[in-house]
Amino acid sequence: MKIPALDLKAQYASIREEIREAMDRVLESQHFILGPEVKALEEEVARYCGTRFAVGVASGTDAILLALAGSGIKEGDEVITTPFTFVATADMVTALKAIPVFVDIDPATFNLNAGQIEEKITPRTRAIMPVHLYGQSADMDPILAIAAKHALKVIEDNAQAIGATYKGKRTGSIGDVGCLSFFPSKNLGGYGDGGMIVTGDERIAERVRRLRAHGAKKKYFSEEQGYNSRLDEIQAAILRVKLRHLDEWNAKRRANAKRYTALLEAVKGVKPPAEADYGTHVYHQYTIRVSHRDAVQAALKEQEIGSAIYYPTPLHLQPLFSDSGFRPCVFPESECAARQVLSLPMYPELAGDHILQVTAVLQECLR
Ligand SMILES: *Cc1c(COP(=O)(O)O)cnc(C)c1O
């Protein structure tokens, strides 16, 4: 039985009518850019995340760019972040000619190790950008404490964790500004590119609103250098339908993860993901550490089971960032994770017997 790493078709089948109705509504209105759907989605996402404001933008990458710019990050500023993430986290820092300063991860959660942040702070440090990787929050309290002590902004890369919580609060609402991605594969995915920032800071919200439209608050009256980064009405209409199902889908992801972990705990050579007790993990990915990873991945492929490596090369070892003078083994935990991680098939509709089948291949291969 073929088991893809991600299957979006089952989900679409379950909401086909709602989606078509929403898309028809936009087509009939012939209003495609920054209209009532985007406005309604912004209000609904702000309410969902527990922030006062939300601003729709063209992608998760743009959400990061505009959150940084909207927080005042500029040329020469330093932003502390993790090297174990998708490239967008750090290359939007360099896009502003600011400097990403990497700090290694906590091996238990794969997220920024707050205990190593303070030694990296310099007079040029302006922000800390934790990433809630795989759907689990970074440990935010120590990060917020360091940020408060040194007057730094906290920008959450929440592209993988919409719906996750940290001590009762939704991720994205904990720091100064949170960044969401609606890339189709994300827990709340559109049918194309899309993103959003969420914030409780009115000035950041206002500034991002301006930056997404050529720096103009009033049309054709630009106050600063800006961008064209808008969420479109069709995506917003689709996302409004999907947002209504998000909690149910995240609960199904959690149930699937529980099933995986129960089956994998007994398998030698596999370390299932750990859930920190401070919050709720929404399993954008179900990522194990595994010995003989390449052999395991090949065995899965042999059985037509999809899997993926997020991410094979930490950012400090990629050519884009290598002129910063980093060498291998500077961030041992990130480098070790990059060699060991394997993400198994995960989506809400994944069937129990599929999970059984995936874990059976692992068991057989690692015996
Ligand atoms: C997906 C993702 C992004 C970028 O989002 P896009 O919508 O693809 O631009 C940024 N950071 C992380 C951690 C992501 O997973």
Ordered DSSP codes for 98-115: -EEEE-PBPTTTSSB-GG
Given this model, what pLDDT does residue 252 score?
98
Which numbered atom of ligand 1 lies nearest the CA of 181? 7
Given this model, what pLDDT does residue 221 score?
87
Handedness of CA 156, 161, 163, 166 (dihedral sign): negative
Alpha helices in the chain (DSSP H): 9-29, 36-49, 60-70, 88-95, 140-150, 202-211, 233-243, 246-264, 293-302, 319-322, 332-340, 352-366
HSE, CB side, 13 Å, CA atoms: give it for residue 234: 10
Q: Is 55 helix (H, G, I), strand (E, B) or coil?
A: strand
Pairing of strands 177-181, 153-157: parallel
Which numbered atom of ligand 1 lies nearest the CA of 64? 10
Which numbered atom of ligand 1 lies nearest the CA of 185? 1
Superfamily of domain 247-366: Aspartate Aminotransferase, domain 1 (3.90.1150.10)
Ligand 1 centroid–CA 68 distance in Å is 15
Q: Strands, DSSP E only, in 105-220?
A: 125-129, 153-157, 165-166, 169-170, 177-181, 195-199, 216-218
Given this model, what pLDDT does residue 1 score?
76
Domains of the chain: which residue ranges?
A: 8-243, 247-366
Pocket lining for ligand 1, CB < 6 angstroms? 59-61, 85-86, 88-89, 131, 157, 159-160, 181, 183, 193, 195
Question: What percent of the chain is predicted at pLDDT more than 70?
Answer: 98
Nearest protein CA to atom 7 of ligand 1, as residue = 60
Task: Give dist(CA 357, CA 60) in Å, integer.
Answer: 34
Please indicate whether the domains covering 8-243 and 247-366 agree at the CATH topology level: no
Ligand 1 centroid–CA 34 distance in Å is 22
Given this model, what pLDDT does residue 302 score?
96
Peptide bond into 311 cis (omega under 30): yes
Task: Give dist(CA 180, CA 163) in Å, integer.
Answer: 11
We find that the CATH architecture of domain 8-243 is 3-Layer(aba) Sandwich (3.40)
Nearest protein CA to atom 5 of ligand 1, as residue = 60
Which numbered atom of ligand 1 lies nearest the CA of 194? 7
Given this model, what pLDDT does residue 234 score?
98
Contacts of 354 (CB under 8 A, 6+ apart): 1, 3, 345
Q: Is 80 helix (H, G, I), strand (E, B) or coil?
A: strand
Pocket test for ligand 1, best of 85, 92, 160 (most atoms within 8 A of CB): 160
Closest by CA to 306, choosing from 358, 258, 269, is: 358
In tens, the pLDDT along 191-241 reads: 999 999 999 999 999 999 999 999 999 888 899 999 999 999 999 999 999
Which regions of the chain are under pLDDT 50?
Answer: none
Which numbered atom of ligand 1 lies nearest the CA of 89? 11
Ligand 1 centroid–CA 35 distance in Å is 24
